[in-house]
């Protein structure tokens, strides 16, 4: 019991999102993940721009991006896909371990606005900027 209390004190600056907030995020990310995985499979099997892939509009933004890179090499597109898949998996595992919304680099809370735009992100704005440099 005492241990739990201490843990709570340690975490007092870190807010954990309640399940009712996380659940829709988890569902959204999962469906995006399966969309991306299907796309990757299509890509590996041949033409990524076949009808089956186009019909998959699970993630509108990703679909647009995918069409934009349609002229690039399939390998470049696959890299983008892989990166998104890894990122979404990471976010999902952070939900699972109760760390969603906490920056994986500095441990601060990630801006809610940022999470709303990029629910798959696992780093805060500051760390993202540092990473880009």
Q: Considering only CA atoms, which of 92, 90, 109 is closest in space to residue 11?
A: 109
Q: Between 48 and 101, whose beta carbon lies closer to Zn ion?
A: 101
Q: Between 41 and 130, whose beta carbon lies closer to Zn ion?
A: 130
Shortest reach from residue 74's CB to Zn ion, in Å: 34
Shortest reach from residue 106's CB to Zn ion, in Å: 3
Shortest reach from residue 31's CB to Zn ion, in Å: 27
Shortest reach from residue 97's CB to Zn ion, in Å: 17
Q: Between 71 and 131, whose beta carbon lies closer to Zn ion?
A: 131
Q: Between 43 and 121, whose beta carbon lies closer to Zn ion?
A: 121
Q: Which positions touch Zn ion (CB under 5 A)? A: 103, 105-106, 124, 127
Long-range contacts of 31-34 (CB under 8 A, 24+ apart): 31/58, 31/59, 32/58, 32/59, 32/62, 32/88, 32/120, 33/85, 33/88, 33/89, 33/92, 34/58
Query: Which residues, 6 or more positions from 129, have their beta carbon under 8 angstroms from its beta carbon?
Result: none
């Amino acid at each position: 019991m005492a241990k739990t209390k201490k843990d709570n004190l340690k975490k007092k600056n870190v807010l954990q999102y309640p399940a009712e907030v996380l659940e829709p995020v988890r569902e959204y990310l999962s469906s995006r993940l399966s969309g991306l995985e299907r796309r990757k499979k299509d890509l590996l099997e041949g033409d990524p721009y076949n009808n089956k892939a186009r019909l998959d509009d699970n993630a509108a933004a990703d679909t647009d991006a995918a069409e934009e890179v349609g002229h690039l090499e399939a390998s470049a597109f696959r890299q983008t896909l892989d990166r998104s898949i890894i990122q979404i998996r990471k976010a999902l595992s952070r939900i699972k371990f109760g760390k969603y919304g906490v920056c994986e680099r500095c441990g601060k809370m990630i801006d809610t606005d940022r999470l709303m735009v990029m629910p798959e992100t696992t780093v805060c704005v500051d760390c993202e900027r540092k990473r880009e440099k």
